[in-house]
Structure 1
Amino acid sequence: MGFQVITLTDAAAGRVREIIAASGPDAKGIRVSIKKGGCAGMEYEVGLVSEPNPRDDLTERDGACVWVDPAASLYLLGTEMDFEVTKLKTGFVFNNPNQTSACGCGESVELKAADLAELAKAREAAH
């Protein structure tokens, strides 16, 4: 059995469903990827999906579909995607165990690839 790359909180799933509903009949979900940029080196990127890429990893929760770019999978493995509304910011939040640092403004992060051997050991120990 493989690892699920990303999980969604109830709040994230609800927001994804809202985005799909507001985006018209072609909207199927959202896609999460990472790109180089920002002070810390990488940024999370979220976009609308109308035509899913069959190579992407799909996570579904209560009708909310999130696809993950395969190039980002090792950097996002074990990530919990949440949605927060605060006084200063509203948006998706990524609780990523592979994040080693973030810039002061919170727009970019430094990520390391997940250690699959360590994840397998942790999974074995839990069972």
Structure 2
Amino acid sequence: MSVTLTPAAADRVNRFLEKEPGALGLRFGVKRTGCSGWQYVADLAHGEQPGDTVFEDRGVRIYVDMLSLPQVDGTVIDVEQRKLGDQFLFRNPNASAECGCGESFTTDADLA
């Protein structure tokens, strides 16, 4: 099981962490919504919750709740350069389909 960061994503997360000294790392998961079923959620982690799995990559701790882990296991978090700024990009091997905007996805388990 893993969730990893590219160097660019780790740099971006570390910039956020520097601005918020009480944060412990990145909280990453999903919630049911969007046009394809699951939507990614990324925020700063301010504490470990019961059932969290904690990964560490490139010096960043990544907190994933137990309900999200099956949907995001193996995901590589990257950063995409856009005209108006950076945006996180999620390369998720569990996603069997994504909506056109890339903000939500479906897994094979959802289709069964």
| Conservation of the 8 A alpha-carbon contact between 1:75 and 1:112 | no
Q: Equivalents in 2 of 1:57, 1:42: separation in Å? A: 19
Which segments of 5 or more consecutive residues in structure 1 lack a partner in the other structure?
114-127
Q: Is residue 71 of structure 2 the alignment partner of residue 95 of structure 1?
A: no
Which segments of 5 or more consecutive residues in structure 2 lack a partner in the other structure?
none
CA-based RMSD of the aligned residues comes to 1.7
- Structure with higher Rg: it is 1
Structure with the bigger percentage of strand: 2
Specify the code of the residue in structure 2 equivalent to 1:42: W
Shift in Å at residue 88 of structure 1? 6.2
Give the corresponding residue for 2:16. 19
**Would you say how many aligned residue pairs link Structure 1 and Structure 2?**
109
| Conservation of the 8 A alpha-carbon contact between 2:54 and 2:61 | yes
Shift in Å at residue 67 of structure 1? 0.8
SS in 1 for 2:42: strand
Give the corresponding residue for 1:29. 25
Give the corresponding residue for 1:117. none
In the TM superposition, 1:1-127 aligns within 5 A as 3=1, 5-23=2-20, 25-87=21-83, 90-112=86-108
Give the alignment's TM-score, normalised by structure 1: 0.76
Specify the code of the residue in structure 1 equivalent to 2:19: A
| Conservation of the 8 A alpha-carbon contact between 1:32 and 1:68 | yes
Q: Equivalents in 1 of 2:3, 2:81: separation in Å? A: 21
Identity of aligned residues (%): 39
Shift in Å at residue 52 of structure 1? 1.7
